[in-house]
Amino acid sequence: MDIFVTILEQGLIYGILALGVYITYKILDFPDLTVDGSFPLGAAVTATMITNGVNPYLTIPVSFLAGVAAGVCTGLIHVKCKVRDLLSGIIMMTALWTINLRLAGTANVPIFGDDNIFDNDLVNKVFSGSLASYKALIIVLVIAAVSKIVLDLYLKTKSGLLLRAVGDNANLVTSLAKDQGNVKILGLAIANGLVALAGCVFCQEQRVFEISSGTGAIVIGLASVIIGTSLFKNIRFFNATAAVLIGSVIYKACVAAALKFFEPQDMKLITAVLFLIILVIGMDRKKKVKKNA
Amino acid sequence: MKKKVLAVVLGTAMTVSLMACGSKDVKVAETSEEKIYTVGISQFAEHGSLDNCREGFIEGLKEAGLEEGKNLKVEVKNAAADQGTAKQISDVFVSDKVDLICGIATPSAQAAYNSAMNTDIPVIYTAVTDPKAAKLADAEGMPAGEVTGTSDQLPIKEQLEMIREVLPDAKKIGILYTTSEVNSVSAIETYEKLAEDYGFTIVKKGVSQTADISLATDEILGGVDCLTNLTDNTVVNSLATILDKANEKKIPVFGSEIEQVKLGCVAAQGLDYIELGKQTGKMAAEVLKGEKKASEMKYETISKPGLYINTEAAKNLGITLDEEFVNSAVESFDSI
């Protein structure tokens, strides 16, 4: 039982990151590597605030804004300096390494002794008794659900529709007399805000900021998005954002399965195999649809 | 359709070949009336020193009467250097209700402590350079909770003494380190604090990745009398490059463990990670048997460092080593 709690917890935290990756990769069609830097950026901001005694709940909006700033920088580099999308992400990712180290002071900042969003007087009072072991999961679930719902609502607004249009048909946006560059910057800002938010929650769940936590974050994000969207493509009940969250949980379940049944050094290969199998299942569905059409 | 068949075949082939590779037999303890202890080892990454720690740990448990396959079940998991996975591993250990978790290297130790915080499962760590900075111990070195272990702090005092012995006229010691490694940063602080006592000044140069090493080495070699290594992963992995450049300029390089001396460092006051692991294993055995509580045990450092010398490296650099000094070495090598 406990293992499912862990999988859900970690899956949903990375799910928030995957929501961000979904915006850039699926909606904007922008391979954004900033993620490897903005994820630990959220964690660095959080750890610094918490060690300085700031209320842990404030870390959530502040981390989000820090991520937004990072996203805006990537956007400006791409749109205003006309650097290619992949490169502008790499430039920001590299810059953020130093910024994160400077922010946090060192590469590893433990926050064991301090209050955090999972462990403070209020939370401990609300979740007592048998609920106590699920408190982290419930809090993560609330944060992930709120992020998903707000993102869904946003995507239905005028600005959200423009964002979706930029990825699908950039000319349409121009023909509507809107600047597609600004829309891209906005998309990157929201995406990296979500990624940094995930970093903030991750840091408090782990009770430590570690500079290396961002390495490979983009891979996990992409895998979650692809698993989610390809598995649930034709299930109406789940919209894309829900699919992405579930995809992230499935990814973490794959890791857990690999951890459980195989030698540690084989883990990455096993995860890759499971990933491949899931992709193939998703592909099969797509073909059937085409045949029926 | 073809694609799908191919993918499934490939996938199966990959899995089957893995299984065929023969994973180590999971030794299930024989049934006996004695209590069988389960220990979960969470290792952060695949790494020579950390592997030695793990082997030493199991060895140490054995010496204390807890033997795998008899009254001990050991589960080893490796996080492949991913912090999230490290937490997942220790969470699983907690839900499997193991009797003790051993965290190898700082991130795994922190994750294990975090997972086991609200349970009664003790955590023993090893290869954590600075347990105080990692908040696993308080300022006096007492545990932060049911968590204790061993630190692989470098014997810096002995190292400085040794450098003075080998190079009586040296003034500046250069150190290369990775800015993102907390362990290196804290070791350098100690070096800077102690260097003056031996008449040295420390020249440090930080890198952020392997690719920077070559340039950084060229730069630092211009202004130092010798180099000394930490246990910095990035730097140690590029030791061959550093040695090449240093030998060209006839600047001696001192190591921090036996493997580095084998590769061509002149000498080292070094750690033996197997010994460190053994020491940790004995601590774990005391906790498992209920003789002591983890929260009552101060973290330990390795009792005495060993001196390792490479006479061939010294000869190439034109350094004559005192015979008495060479004889005091635990092990000396005469080839590179």
Task: Look up residue B255 and give its two tokens.
Answer: 């190591």
Under the banding of pLDDT at 50, 70 and 90, the label for residue A256 is: confident
Q: Burial-class residue B13 by CB neighbours within 10 Å (0-12, 13-18, 19+).
A: exposed
- Whole-angstrom distance, CA of residue B75 vs CA of residue B52: 16
**Is A209 in the B-facing interface, judged by CB distances under 8 Å?**
no
Q: What is the mean pLDDT of residues A122-134?
A: 82
Residue scoring higher pLDDT (B5 or A82): A82
Say whether B135 and A269 touch across the interface (CB within 8 A).
no
Residue A158 has phi, psi (to 5 degrees) of: -60, -45
Q: How many Cα atoms sit within 13 Å of B306 on the Cβ side?
A: 16
Say whether B95 and A255 touch across the interface (CB within 8 A).
no
Mean pLDDT (chain B, rounded): 87
Q: What is the mean pLDDT of residues B210-224?
A: 90
Confirm if A262 and A254 have CB atoms less than 8 A apart.
Answer: no
Residue scoring higher pLDDT (A284 or A151): A151
- Whole-angstrom distance, CA of residue B105 vs CA of residue A208: 14
Q: Does the pLDDT of residue A1 top 80, yes or no?
A: no
Given A113, A212, A265, which is nearest B135 (Cβ)? A113
- With pLDDT > 90 as the criterion, what percentage of chain A qualifies? 56
- Whole-angstrom distance, CA of residue A257 vs CA of residue A278: 14
- Whole-angstrom distance, CA of residue A81 vs CA of residue B152: 48
**Is A6 in the B-facing interface, judged by CB distances under 8 Å?**
yes
pLDDT, position A293: 47
Look up the ipTM and state it: 0.75
pLDDT, position B29: 44
Name the B residues in 70-129 with CB < 8 Å from any A CB.
Answer: 76-85, 87-89, 91-92, 94-95, 106-107, 110-111, 113-114, 117-118
pLDDT tens digits, residue range B68-77?
989 999 999 9
Under the banding of pLDDT at 50, 70 and 90, the label for residue B32 is: very low
Name the B residues in 205-234 with CB < 8 Å from any A CB.
Answer: 208
> How far lies B224's CA from each of A212, B159, B179, B246, B315, in Å?
31, 17, 20, 11, 20
pLDDT tens digits, residue range A26-85?
999 899 999 999 999 999 999 999 999 999 999 999 999 999 999 999 999 999 999 999
Smallest Cα distance from A33 to chain B, Å: 18
- Whole-angstrom distance, CA of residue A242 vs CA of residue B316: 66
DSSP labels for B67-99?
A: -BTTTEEEEEEE-TT-HHHHHHHHHHHHHTT-S
pLDDT, position A275: 75
Q: Does the pLDDT of residue A221 top 90, yes or no?
A: yes
Name the B residues in 283-302 with CB < 8 Å from any A CB.
Answer: none
CATH 1.10.3470.10 fits A2-109+124-282, yes or no: yes
Pick the range with the lowest mean pLDDT from A171-180, A275-284, B63-72: A275-284
> Which residue has tokens 């994973």?
B23
**Is A264 in the B-facing interface, judged by CB distances under 8 Å?**
yes
> How far lies B170's CA from each of B158, B202, B203, B225, B252, in Å?
16, 11, 13, 6, 11
Q: What is the mean pLDDT of residues B151-156?
A: 89
Four-CA torsion A202, A208, A214, A216, nearest 10 degrees = -80
Q: Does the pLDDT of residue B193 top 70, yes or no?
A: yes
pLDDT, position B233: 80
Under the banding of pLDDT at 50, 70 and 90, the label for residue B133 is: confident
Most confident of A64-73, A244-253, B83-92, B294-303: A64-73
Q: What is the mean pLDDT of residues B115-119?
A: 89
Q: Does the pLDDT of residue B21 top 50, yes or no?
A: no
Q: Does the pLDDT of residue B63 top 80, yes or no?
A: yes
Q: What is the mean pLDDT of residues B149-155?
A: 91
Under the banding of pLDDT at 50, 70 and 90, the label for residue A262 is: confident
Cβ contacts of A110 on chain B, cutoff 8 Å: 110, 133-136
Confirm if B311 and B336 have CB atoms less than 8 A apart.
Answer: no
Q: What is the mean pLDDT of residues A139-149?
A: 96
Name the B residues in 143-162 with CB < 8 Å from any A CB.
Answer: 144
Q: Map out the domains of chain A as residue ranges.
A: 2-109+124-282
pTM: 0.80
